[in-house]
Structure 1
Amino acid sequence: MKPPPRRCALYTRKSSEEGLDQSFNSLDAQHEACEAYIKSQASEGWRALPARYDDGDYSGGSMERPGLKQLLADISLGKIDIVVVYKIDRLTRSLADFARMVELFEQHDVSFVSVTQSFNTTSSMGRLTLNVLLSFAQFEREVTGERIRDKIAASKKKGMWMGGSPPLGYDLPEAGSYALRINKAEAETVRRIFERYLELKSVHALVRDLKEKGIRSKVRTTLKGRTIGGQPFSRGALYHLLRSRVYLGEVPHKDQSHPGLHEAIIDEELFVAVQAQLDENSRRRKATGKSVAGSPLAGRLFDTDGQPMSPTFAHGRSGKLYRYYVSASLQWGAKRDQQDNAPRRVSAATLESRMIKTLTRLLPKQQEDPLKFISRIEIHARYVELLLPNKFIGKIREKLHTGEQVVPDLMHPDQLRLTLP
């Protein structure tokens, strides 16, 4: 008896754009290997679909990939029976993302096959093996990240500038150097901003003053030739600038600051005076009840790129206070890329309320504020990830809703990683 036809979708991915312009590239090689495997299973009714699901220059650490989105959409429409990839890490390098995909596969009776690893998800052993391999893939990615973070921390202790956009007043180091170079014209602007703040004694007034004088944020050109910056200073950007110890010739790292290899722009006397005025204004706002309501997630909230998301606020026309958490790049005045769909600004009240409601449901009954148990929150386009004490993993697993996942965090044995859609 002839077996029923099995519609096979071939998915391919490459992390970088290198070589994609060649007539036969890595995506083509993966596609050819998958096609050959499907032909070997022709007796089982396997047939390759004509549509290609390719993602060139996309990381496997995120699901924000056009080819993958189309693949998942076609699965939801019932157009696919088997997903075929060259290696499992071509589909994803994230255990949480894979768990979500497998759930979708199972809902639509779709099997998953890795050509070079010779197994699929039609059996319990295949699913177990896949999870083990993905755990190691995620472990490798996180170990690499930890190595890089350790190297950056050690280098900053030596005063080196370890990449990133230079602040106003400085240019990037010359080739082979790790010391920021002073931009004389911008350095004069920075000194004037510090001095003008002491005259006005208000960041709000300073924002208006700089806007009237046409003084804007630093203009930068990316490696792809796109110009960013050159925008009027926001309050958040000015607070960061006035608090930055880079202008004292130091290199900050987390909650510490180390003597830098670059020259200072602001002398210590002026810097200390500005800090005292900022602190005084902060105390005055608290005393008059005009301070931003407490932001309990401050210092623990990060966007999808690992940038810290800091608290800020705005007043509506009626005077109502609205609180937000905003990515550091936007706080510094960077212009958002129109193609960037990652959350860079979230409502503080909405996020905090959701976290409290979710943790109250998942955690054992506590006398304490449930938010205190969160050590880190990462905001992604389609999901949120939390790090919590690993001692709660058993209780949390009993109360998970559809789409929620919890796994031990491989890099922090005392922590678990909770994923919320």
Structure 2
Amino acid sequence: MTTRNAKRTTSQKSAKDQTHRKPPRLWCAVYTRKSSEEGLDQAFNSLDAQREAGEAYVKSQAPEGWCLCTTRYDDGGYSGGTLERPGVQHLLTDIQAKRIQIVVVYKVDRLTRSLRDFAKLVDLFDTHGVSFASVTQPVNTTTSTGRLMLNVLLSFAQFEREVTGERIRDKVLASKQKGLWMGGFPALGYDIQERTLVVNEAEAEVVRHIYEKYVALGSVGVLRKELEAKGYRSKRYQCRGGQIVGGGTFSRGHLYRILQNRLYRGEIEHKGQIYPGAHHAIIDERLWEKTQALLESHRQEFLTDARVASPSLLKGLLYDDVGNRMSPSHGRKGSRRYHYYISQAVLQYREHEAGSVARLPSHELEQLVNNQVIGTLTKEDGSQELAKRLVRMSDQEQCQVLRRIIQKVVVSRNKVRITLNLTGGLSLLDLTQDINNEEDAHPLQLEVPFTLVPRGGKHHILVNGSGDGVNAKPNAVLVRAVVRGYHWREQLLTGSNISLKQFAKEQAVKARYMMRLLRVSFLAPDIIEAILNGTQPVTMTLERFRRPIPLDWATQRQLFGFPPR
């Protein structure tokens, strides 16, 4: 045999070996989904039909090395508008573990109906070398044409989903305009019969008792304790799957929802609009109006802080270190009222879920945040003018601007973390031209270490590095009180014969507030100097000037915790 013939025979054998060589094994996962739970209890349902079609498709591609993965990835009763589905999450976990090379679905919209979610999935597939195939649609993600086709199909799927959503919303609106109940758990006092609310007389008596007791007691917290003591429980309801929900004690939030639920007036509410309901009322108009008036008075008192000297700076912005919101509250000892921020976990009787600090004195915490924010503004480029204006403002004006600047405050056992966005305050005062670059618009993070010092039966906040019981920076509230107190005293002494009440009206402040600041102007010179330097005791706040102070300087030093001279 010649050398040429030998080479030809060798090449023919190599080609023959390549022809009979098996392709690499590719593990295929069949994913199925159905939006509703209807029909899933049947022996052969939609998920089974989708999986059967997917398995047949995988078998047809066996010559290409496709092998069926026996694990089932099914989502029965889940919408395609989100990826928060157990079947999808299991599938993604196996993809990341390199157990799957190809994902097979009956139709593209079974996997997702959202273009945004699909983009995330494609990135994940590409990262892990996974391909995607549809049984009924010519989709191949390995080519640019296939990707284009897939995007077009998903666009139509998302459009179909949005149109369906609009139709459902229109149907709900039309039904509620006719006073019809549109599903969900029935409220306490009602049962569902043929998709209609009917009064449950035993539960209706409980609802009436709740309304009448709230009007008599005037407090949801006291009402909650009274109901718990007498053994009242919330409505028990059996879900379609047989699960029992409810039947526990009433929480404060649950009672607020009951006291404001217009179902009990025989009405249906939809997006702020009220329509006459097709069901019977449980609460008469007189009791309803009394309840709403009492709720509204408490709401206004809470929103405006009518019970305290100044608004709560951190209301809605403060959280403990495990994510519970901290809300303004107060306690009374004799004739004095003490104000705190308390974790919602404590207010809702879940003390074990509270963070490392469950209660903090409100004025001292607000003072700390106020000082740190204003001190930061004086150092930041483009915000010095904002800081100057803040110091000259009244308490309410300053609070309004600071609440636009402060995004979030988180407290733990030994520090406060403050997140700021200066854009809000600058835009409120028409200072947006002072923003020099994009970095100024980004959130700014501050961390302030502090120590809780027990004193006088309660805890005080001591800023670390500020000495024994003193503030680290001048208290802007007290500094402004000194300036305004001296200014008003000078005007009263040198001005025309005008009463304090008339002068306070001219200055657009209350006479009691003016009197408090005038008392500050009669402090000893060394106490005034300490306030201006920020070295006054941490317990010295504007609240201490609600009552008259002694004119003797030595007695003043003893009263406010200064060393004798």
Q: Structure 2 CA distance, aligned partners of 1:6 and 1:47?
A: 6
The alpha carbon displacement at 1:19 in A equals 5.2
The alpha carbon displacement at 1:228 in A equals 1.4
Tell me what 1:141 maps to.
161
Superposed CA offset, 1:17-37 (max 9, x none): 555566654444333333333
Give the superposed CA RMSD: 3.6
Query: Are 1:45 and 2:65 matched, yes or no?
Result: yes
The one of 165, 169, 177 aligned to 1:157:
177
Q: Structure 2 CA distance, aligned partners of 1:16 and 1:247?
A: 31
RCO greater where, 1 or 2, for CA within 8 Å and sep 6 or more?
1
Q: Structure 1 CA distance, aligned partners of 2:271 and 2:65?
A: 57
Q: Structure 2 CA distance, aligned partners of 1:101 and 1:38?
A: 21
Q: Structure 2 CA distance, aligned partners of 1:15 and 1:120?
A: 25
Report how many residues are paired.
Answer: 322
Question: Residues 234, 23 of structure 1: CA spacing in aligned structure 2 closer, same or farther, 3 A cutoff?
Answer: closer
Larger Rg: 2
Q: Structure 2 CA distance, aligned partners of 1:322 and 1:25?
A: 49
The alpha carbon displacement at 1:295 in A equals 4.7
Q: Structure 1 CA distance, aligned partners of 2:256 and 2:72?
A: 49
**Are the counterparts in 2 of residues 292 and 323 from structure 1 also a CA contact under 8 Å?**
no
Query: Are 1:223 and 2:240 matched, yes or no?
Result: yes
The one of 27, 30, 45 aligned to 1:7:
27
Tell me what 1:67 maps to.
87
**Are the counterparts in 2 of residues 282 and 291 from structure 1 also a CA contact under 8 Å?**
no
The alpha carbon displacement at 1:202 in A equals 0.8
**Are the counterparts in 2 of residues 221 and 228 from structure 1 also a CA contact under 8 Å?**
yes
Structure (1/2) with the larger helix percentage: 2
Q: Secondary structure at the match of 2:214?
A: helix
The worse-fitting range, judged by mean Cα deviation, of 243-252 and 53-62 is: 53-62
Tell me what 2:306 maps to.
287
Tell me what 2:531 maps to.
none
TM, length-normalised to structure 2? 0.51
Tell me what 2:279 maps to.
262
Tell me what 2:134 maps to.
114
Tell me what 2:102 maps to.
82
Superposed CA offset, 1:268-307 (max 9, x none): 12111111111222233322358795559xxxxxxxxxxx
Query: Are 1:250 and 2:267 matched, yes or no?
Result: yes
Q: Structure 2 CA distance, aligned partners of 1:245 and 1:78?
A: 54
* Sequence identity (%): 55
Q: Structure 2 CA distance, aligned partners of 1:186 and 1:365?
A: 49
Q: Secondary structure at the match of 2:154?
A: helix
Q: Structure 2 CA distance, aligned partners of 1:63 and 1:254?
A: 28
Query: Are 1:196 and 2:213 matched, yes or no?
Result: yes
Q: Structure 2 CA distance, aligned partners of 1:182 and 1:292?
A: 45
**Are the counterparts in 1 of residues 326 and 341 from structure 2 also a CA contact under 8 Å?**
no
Structure 1, unaligned runs of 5 or more: 297-310, 325-329, 331-351, 370-394, 396-421
Superposed CA offset, 1:153-200 (max 9, x none): 12212222222222212222x32x64x212212222211111111111
**Are the counterparts in 2 of residues 8 and 82 from structure 1 also a CA contact under 8 Å?**
yes
Tell me what 2:451 maps to.
none
The one of 152, 168, 171 aligned to 2:191:
171
Superposed CA offset, 1:228-283 (max 9, x none): 11111111111111112222221111211112222222121211111111122223
Tell me what 1:91 maps to.
111
TM, length-normalised to structure 1? 0.67
Question: Residues 275, 30 of structure 1: CA spacing in aligned structure 2 closer, same or farther, 3 A cutoff?
Answer: closer
Q: Structure 1 CA distance, aligned partners of 2:297 and 2:144?
A: 63
Equivalent runs, 1:391-410 vs 2, <5 Å: none
Q: Secondary structure at the match of 2:29?
A: strand
The alpha carbon displacement at 1:118 in A equals 1.5
Q: Structure 2 CA distance, aligned partners of 1:126 and 1:157?
A: 47
Question: Residues 97, 196 of structure 1: CA spacing in aligned structure 2 closer, same or farther, 3 A cutoff?
Answer: same
**Are the counterparts in 1 of residues 316 and 327 from structure 2 also a CA contact under 8 Å?**
no
Query: Are 1:273 and 2:295 matched, yes or no?
Result: no
Structure 2, unaligned runs of 5 or more: 1-17, 318-324, 331-338, 349-406, 410-417, 429-437, 439-565
Tell me what 1:419 maps to.
none
Q: Secondary structure at the match of 1:120?
A: coil
Which ranges of 4 or more aligned residues in structure 1 deviate by more than 4 Å? 16-25, 289-296, 311-316, 364-369
**Are the counterparts in 2 of residues 13 and 91 from structure 1 also a CA contact under 8 Å?**
yes
